[in-house]
Structure 1
Amino acid sequence: MEKILVTGADGFIGSHLVEELVLQGYKVKAFVYYNSFNSWGWLDTLPSDVLDNIEIFTGDVRDPFGVKEAVTGCDATFHLAALIAIPYSYYSPQSYVETNINGTLNILQAARELNIKRVLVTSTSEVYGTALQVPINETHPRQGQSPYSATKIGADAIADSFFRSFNLPVTIVRPFNTYGPRQSARAVIPTIITQLLSGLKEVKLGALYPTRDLVYVKDTAKGFIEIFKQETLIGEEVNIATNNEVSIEDLANKLFKLTGVEGNIISDAERLRPEKSEVYRLLGDNTKLFQHTNWKPGTTLDEGLLKTIDWFSDKNNLSKYKADIYNK
Structure 2
Amino acid sequence: MELANQKILVTGADGFIGSHLTEELVRRGHSVRAFVYYNSFNSWGWLDHAEPEVLKSLDVFAGDIRDPHGVREAMKGCDVVLHLAALIAIPYSYHSPDTYLDTNVKGTLNVVQAARQLGVAKVVHTSTSEVYGTARFVPITEEHPLQGQSPYSASKIGADQMAMSFYSSFDTPVAIIRPFNTYGPRQSARAVIPTIVTQLASGIEKIKLGSLHPTRDFNYVADTVRGFIAAAQSDRAVGEVINVGSNYEISIGETARMIAEIMGKENCFETQADEVRLRPGKSEVERLWAENRKAKELLGWEPRYAGKEGLRRGLEETVRWFSDPKNLKAYKAGIYNI
Which category of TM-score, normalised to the shorter sequence, fits these structures?
Answer: over 0.9
**Secondary structure of 1:276's partner?**
helix
| Alignment of 1:285 onto 2:295 | no
Alignment of 1:1-328 (within 5 A): 1-261=5-265, 262-299=268-305, 300-328=310-338
- Detail structure 1 runs of 4+ shifted over 6 Å in the superposition: none
Separation (CA, whole Å) in 1 of partners of 2:245 and 2:324: 29
Separation (CA, whole Å) in 1 of partners of 2:293 and 2:192: 27
Separation (CA, whole Å) in 2 of partners of 1:169 and 1:296: 23
Separation (CA, whole Å) in 2 of partners of 1:193 and 1:230: 36
**Secondary structure of 1:107's partner?**
helix
Identity of aligned residues (%): 59
Deviation at 1:25, TM superposition (A): 1.7
Q: Deviations over 1:161-217 (max 9, x none)?
A: 000000000001100000000000000000000000001111000000000000000
Q: Deviations over 1:68-116 (max 9, x none)?
A: 0000010010000000000000010000000000000000101100000
Separation (CA, whole Å) in 1 of partners of 2:228 and 2:187: 18
Task: Please say if residues 100 and 155 of structure 2, whose CA atoms lie closer than 8 Å, have aligned partners that are also in contact.
Answer: yes
Separation (CA, whole Å) in 2 of partners of 1:159 and 1:124: 14
Taking only aligned residues, the RMSD between alpha carbons, in angstroms, comes to 0.6
TM-score by length of 2: 0.96
Separation (CA, whole Å) in 2 of partners of 1:314 and 1:294: 35
Provide structure 2 residue ranges, at least 5 long, that are not aligned to the other structure.
none
Task: Please say if residues 217 and 247 of structure 2, whose CA atoms lie closer than 8 Å, have aligned partners that are also in contact.
Answer: yes
Task: Please say if residues 236 and 299 of structure 2, whose CA atoms lie closer than 8 Å, have aligned partners that are also in contact.
Answer: no
Separation (CA, whole Å) in 2 of partners of 1:112 and 1:296: 31
Deviation at 1:294, TM superposition (A): 2.4
TM-score by length of 1: 0.99
Provide structure 1 residue ranges, at least 5 long, that are not aligned to the other structure.
none
Deviation at 1:297, TM superposition (A): 1.2
Q: Deviations over 1:8-61 (max 9, x none)?
A: 000000000001111222110000000000100000111111111110000000
Deviation at 1:145, TM superposition (A): 0.1
Deviation at 1:293, TM superposition (A): 2.2
How many residues are aligned here? 328
